[in-house]
Amino acid sequence: MTKPISYKRHRFPPEIIAHAVWLYFRFPLSLRLVEEMLLERGIIVSYETGRRWALSSGQTTPAASNARGRAGATFGISTRS
C-alpha cells in the first residue's frame, strides 16, 4: 500500500502541485514547458521546483506508472499501405 503524499512545508497549494505533476507525466511536456504553462495562469514556479515535485510525488501517482519510465516501451509508425 502506498502512503499518501505529504504537502507539508510546500509553498504552493496541493492542487497546483498535483496539476503540475499531472501535466508533466500525462503529456509529453518538458519541465520548462510545464513552467511556462503555469506562468500563463499567473503561477510563478521554476522548472527545478517542478522537477522536485515530480521526483517526490510523481512516483505515487497513477499517471507516473503509465507514462514515463517504462522500460522497453517503443512506439512506431507502420510503413505498410
Is the pLDDT higher at 1 or at 3?
Answer: 3
Query: What is the per-residue pLDDT for 47?
Result: 87
Average pLDDT over residues 48-55: 88
Q: What is the pLDDT of residue 81?
A: 57
State if pTM tops 0.85: no
CB atoms within 10 A of CB 41: 8
In the prediction, which pLDDT does 32 show?
Answer: 93
Residue 80 exposure: Cα atoms within 13 Å on the Cβ side: 0
Three-class DSSP category at 63: helix
Longest dimension (CA), the chain: 56
